[in-house]
Amino acid sequence: MKRLLALACTAALLGGPGMAHEFGFAGILSKSNKEDLPELTLSVGKPIAAEPLKLKSGMAYEIEIVADGTGELALEGAGFFRAIWVNEVVVNGLEIRPYGIDSLEFDEAGTMEIEFVAIKPGRYELKQPGSTGESQRVEIIIE
């Protein structure tokens, strides 16, 4: 029931199903309510991010995740992905509008852009699966 209510609220904020894409971004996804985040880097032995990401609930964000191809690298963070509404994921110019995400993986060098709205306040993380190093994770705080 909570998920259905959240989806209904999101549709209302966007002006109804599909309206944001038919007429350009409006409401919650307007340019005045969207912020670009520092990119995350996936590279063997290098930190993912310089510092934690601080987000505001109800604000739209775009983040680039860049893999340098030094290995097959992934990011997991089911808690974070359940606390946001993903508008689109762009890979090689192809736009994907997923219902949900659990993790991401790069088999080779590339860039992925994710546009989303922060919804549920809390502390989350994205990390490389199986890694215990502090630099192989990024903390994300939604206020």
Q: How far is CA 3 from CA 10, 67, 70, 93, 126, in A?
A: 10, 32, 39, 30, 22
Query: Could you read off the pLDDT of 79-112 as tens digits, one per residue?
Result: 999 999 999 999 999 999 999 899 999 999 999 9
Q: Three-state DSSP class for 32?
A: helix
Question: Distance between CA atoms of 13 and 44, rounded to whole angstroms?
Answer: 40
pTM: 0.78
Set out the domains of the chain in order of their start, with CATH numbers: 30-142 (2.60.40.420)
Per-residue tokens: 59: 């604000």
Question: Distance between CA atoms of 127 and 134, rounded to whole angstroms?
Answer: 9
Query: Could you read off the pLDDT of 21-61 as tens digits, one per residue?
Result: 444 555 665 666 799 999 999 999 899 999 999 999 999 99
